[in-house]
């Protein structure tokens, strides 16, 4: 089960040029096992980007990351709605990192009877998003995707 309570943490991150910068990581509260928090993450990100002066394609000061279970990615409409609205001017956050955990918890049937595509991430094809399938047991492979 994904985390339900929110938290926030600010830390100093050493950059490759030797300087340090404060980075705040915020985990928003999600009161449900459903993907109810997704639009909140996007709205909060957009608001933070606006308050930091980001506009147009310059939205890198704040990057949303959403963790999905595989069943939720493929089966909950809010995920698709969020994906297909990503290019609208008033909703654009410059990109979102979606981490999909293939935990098989949400499926009560086999994947070939629970979704049309081969992978839970096939819904990302609607926006031509790059998808990297990585075995999390191989930390080196996970690191290479970033």
Distance of alpha carbon 126 from the chain centroid: 16
- Model confidence pLDDT, tens digit, residues 1-27: 456 788 899 999 998 899 999 999 998
- The beta-strand segments (E) located in 45-89 are 65-69
Higher-pLDDT residue of 145, 2 = 145
In 10 A of CB 132, how many CB atoms? 10
Per the structure block, which two tokens stand in for 113? Answer: 């009877």
Mean residue pLDDT of the chain comes to 84
- pLDDT above 70 covers a percentage of the chain that reads 90
Task: Quote the pLDDT of residue 115.
Answer: 79
**The pLDDT of residue 78 is above 80:** yes
Tell me what the mean pLDDT of segment 27-33 comes to: 82
Is residue 26 within 8 A of residue 3, CB to CB? The reply is no
Tell me what the mean pLDDT of segment 66-85 comes to: 85
- Model confidence pLDDT, tens digit, residues 107-135: 677 777 777 888 888 989 989 999 999 98
Q: How far apart are CA 30 and CA 16, in angstroms?
A: 34
Is residue 6 within 8 A of residue 37, CB to CB? The reply is no
Domains of the chain in start order, with CATH, are 7-145 (3.40.50.970)
Any idea which residue has 């839970």 for tokens? 120
């Amino acid at each position: 089960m994904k985390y339900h309570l929110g938290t926030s943490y600010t830390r100093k991150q050493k950059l490759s040029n030797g300087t340090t910068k404060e980075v705040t990581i915020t985990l928003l509260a999600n009161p449900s096992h459903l993907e109810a928090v997704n639009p909140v993450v996007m709205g909060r990100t957009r608001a933070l980007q606006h308050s930091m002066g980001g506009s147009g394609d310059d939205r890198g000061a704040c990057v949303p990351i959403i963790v999905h279970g595989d069943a939720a990615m493929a089966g909950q409409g809010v995920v698709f709605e969020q994906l297909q609205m990503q290019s609208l001017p008033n909703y654009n956050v410059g990109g979102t990192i979606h981490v999909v955990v293939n935990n098989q918890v949400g499926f009560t049937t086999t994947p070939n009877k629970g979704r049309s595509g081969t992978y839970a991430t096939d819904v990302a094809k609607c926006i031509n998003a790059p998808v990297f399938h990585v075995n999390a047991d191989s930390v080196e492979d996970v690191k290479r995707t970033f």
